Structure 1
Amino acid sequence: MRSIALASALVALWACPTFATQFSSMFASTSHDFGTVARAAKTEHRFYFDNPYDQPIHVRSVRTSCGCTTPIVETHDVPPKGRGSILARFNTDTHTGQRGATLTVTFDKPSFAEVQLHVKGYIRTDVVFNPGEAAFGSVQQGKQKSIDVVLDYAGRSDWQITGLTTNDTYLSATAREASRGNGRVRYNISLTMAEESPTGPYQSELIVQTNDRKLTRVPLRVMANVVAGITASPTTVSLGDILAGDPIKQLILLKGQQSFLVKSIESDVFDIESNLSDEPKSLQPIQLILRAKEAEFGKEIRGFIRFETSLADRPQIDIGAVFRLKTPALVSADSGEGED
């Protein structure tokens, strides 16, 4: 009887609203409004949560109250001080009109708790993007890339796009009317990523402004992955304590999207020797001999090593350098000078 009573007490404790409140506070937000979106537009939102405990958190499951939204557990196990996420995918291809859903996230470690997340949005039936998002795929840094998205509208004969806006300086777009007739309008939207776009995953949004009387804004999600034309390994040379003028060997690997030559190497903190290859290759291993220039002893010194390449776009790449120069006293002590 005592075992049954203890088990009942534990179940009651786990189901206590206090735990749900604690777990709910882990989420940066528990609700999201998708706003007004076009039919078939790819529409998603991530709910992030942080584990404040000194033990792992486990997400057992997530369920939805409406088929208009598909919830996905992206991180089942979250270590202490780690971050997890729940993805809410708005099913704009199978549902229309005003929609909303409650997503119930169930945790079973370190204790049992349920947290409810809420999403809502309005899915238009008269506006369709094809494809459902502007997906650039892989974009090489230093080169522009453009893609096209088609917008189809069915309804008013005088409907039109009045403007395109984005808060992103790396994205530009234009719209051109392709056809009009029988209450149907088609626009070709051309989007361009700038050559200055920073490397890494990229996500933004283009707002299509229209002359609708009420629903004047239609968002289009923009995705890309910007890759550098050339990368270096390592990205920083950390040498610790060194002597001014002493030779230090360091191997650097440069990798490009196409074959290239390394034309010259310079640095603000090192004198550099190297034998550069005269054979164009996409992978260039470079053996450097570094000699630190005179600088203040005992102080951390930071600088760069710059490689000039034959690539037409963004031909330079810099890597970092950090070290300290040993003081003469330390050099004398380390070398054992002054002994009889």
Structure 2
Amino acid sequence: MMTRRGMTAALAGCLAAMTIGAATVEAAGWADSLFAERNHHFGPVPRGAKVKHDFVLVNRLKEPVTILNLRPSCGCTSGQASASTVNPGESATIQAEMDTRNFLGEKATILYASLVTASGREAEVRLHVTSHILADVVLNPGSIDFGTVVKGQAPTLTLTIDRINAANWKFERMVSGSRALTAQLVETKRDATGAVSYRLDVGIKPDAPSGPLRDEIRLISNDRETRSIPVPVTGWIRGDLTASPSLLTMGEIASAEGKQGKFIIRASQPFAITSVEGVGDGFSIEPYDGKKKPMHILTVAYKPDEGTTRGDLQRVFRVTTDIPGEPPLDLTATAHVAP
């Protein structure tokens, strides 16, 4: 029989466990509420495809939120955030990519996003992605990635689509809203065994605008179960404006004096910097004079203030110029601020 003292101790332990559990739920709740969705199913996809989905984080809090880390539960999945720090009222995307080369059937995985607020609240959000990977349709490679392309060039990349045991299967059309791409789909094989092959040639138009290239070509087939096959297309079209370094590493900041670093921005013609976004939270940029010249030097400084976020920091500065048709240039600076 349990004594009164034992019952009291057991009740106290139970209450403590409930309190810890409630605190955990509360901690997870504020972070989960920043996402409109935390689950995505890609549906049927060919084996070898690299499928991507953007989870949108909207900071509804009254303080900045930092994305500390993205950790996948499987080597087939990776994640990338569009920003490291999200200020109140702003948003960022966390892109989850699944590589289907080594799997068949239903495949589910999780991308863990570790978040921390400026006041020190931490939480981990689970972003779930699932695919139904087909055994009889294979993409090689799984996506079209042009890497970095100089504006005005017109490179072309090729992808193949193969299917077995489907003598009557065919693609009926392609769908893409991109004005920067050209695409041609050609049937290359159809034999008595039911094997069918296609070749997809994708190119960048010479007049494609500078900046990130992120699009998708959907191949529409006559198969009702696998009607649409997505082909992601990515790349970066480098314009006339360049920056050195592309990533400014400011290193360890252990004193109130902070640190400085420099970006050198060049173009083939004289230009003026009209605005720079991203200043604040301890980061500053030496004022620019608005004069036209072929090279500008921007000095970035970080000085930790009371209440600013500590640890690993990353800040993106968006530089806008008066060069016609030239998109803003994003400059990234990183630093580690000691507690």
Give 1:111-260 correspondences, 5 Å limit: 111-181=121-191, 182-229=193-240, 231=267, 234-236=271-273, 250-253=291-294
What is the rounded CA distance, in whole Å, between the counterparts of 1:249 and 1:97 in structure 2? 58
- The match for 2:96 is 88
What is the rounded CA distance, in whole Å, between the counterparts of 1:44 and 1:170 in structure 2? 20
Evaluate the alpha carbon distance shift between residue 194 and residue 60 of structure 1 in structure 2; reply closer, same or farther with a 3 A threshold.
closer
> TM-score of the superposition, structure 1-length normalised?
0.59
- The match for 1:27 is 35
Deviation at 1:80, TM superposition (A): 4.8
The structure number with the bigger radius of gyration is 1
Indicate the larger mover: 207-216 or 219-228. Answer: 207-216
Deviations 1:49-85, CA, capped at 9 Å, x for gaps: 2443436546467463xx4853547599646547666
SS in 2 for 1:198: coil
| Contact residue 103 and residue 116 of structure 1 kept, 8 A | yes
| Contact residue 48 and residue 138 of structure 2 kept, 8 A | yes
CA RMSD of aligned residues (A): 4.1
> TM-score of the superposition, structure 2-length normalised?
0.59
Deviations 1:166-193, CA, capped at 9 Å, x for gaps: 1222223111122222222221111122
Deviations 1:219-258, CA, capped at 9 Å, x for gaps: 11101211225645644369xxxxxxxxx99451179xxx
SS in 2 for 1:93: coil
SS in 1 for 2:132: strand
Indicate the larger mover: 35-44 or 105-114. Answer: 105-114
Indicate the larger mover: 42-51 or 100-109. Answer: 100-109
Letter in structure 1 aligned against 2:224: R
Evaluate the alpha carbon distance shift between residue 55 and residue 207 of structure 1 in structure 2; reply closer, same or farther with a 3 A threshold.
closer
Deviation at 1:100, TM superposition (A): 2.8
SS in 2 for 1:20: helix
Evaluate the alpha carbon distance shift between residue 206 and residue 54 of structure 1 in structure 2; reply closer, same or farther with a 3 A threshold.
same
SS in 2 for 1:23: helix
Deviation at 1:138, TM superposition (A): 2.5
- The match for 1:275 is none
Deviation at 1:107, TM superposition (A): 4.8
Q: Gaps spanning 5+ residues in structure 2: where?
A: 1-11, 242-266, 276-288, 297-320, 328-339
Letter in structure 1 aligned against 2:293: I
- The match for 2:286 is none
Deviations 1:193-241, CA, capped at 9 Å, x for gaps: 2223221111100111112232121111101211225645644369xxx
Of all paired residues, the percent bearing the same amino acid is 23
Give 1:69-80 correspondences, 5 Å limit: 70-72=77-79, 78=85, 80=87
Evaluate the alpha carbon distance shift between residue 176 and residue 60 of structure 1 in structure 2; reply closer, same or farther with a 3 A threshold.
closer
What is the rounded CA distance, in whole Å, between the counterparts of 2:19 and 2:171 in structure 1? 60
What is the rounded CA distance, in whole Å, between the counterparts of 1:170 and 1:75 in structure 2? 22
Number of aligned residue pairs: 249
What is the rounded CA distance, in whole Å, between the counterparts of 1:21 and 1:92 in structure 2? 31
Letter in structure 2 aligned against 1:140: V
Evaluate the alpha carbon distance shift between residue 11 and residue 129 of structure 1 in structure 2; reply closer, same or farther with a 3 A threshold.
same
Aligned: 1:47 with 2:88: no
What is the rounded CA distance, in whole Å, between the counterparts of 2:17 and 2:224 in structure 1? 59
| Contact residue 134 and residue 223 of structure 1 kept, 8 A | yes
What is the rounded CA distance, in whole Å, between the counterparts of 2:322 and 2:125 in structure 1? 51
Give 1:291-306 correspondences, 5 Å limit: none
What is the rounded CA distance, in whole Å, between the counterparts of 1:21 and 1:32 in structure 2? 19
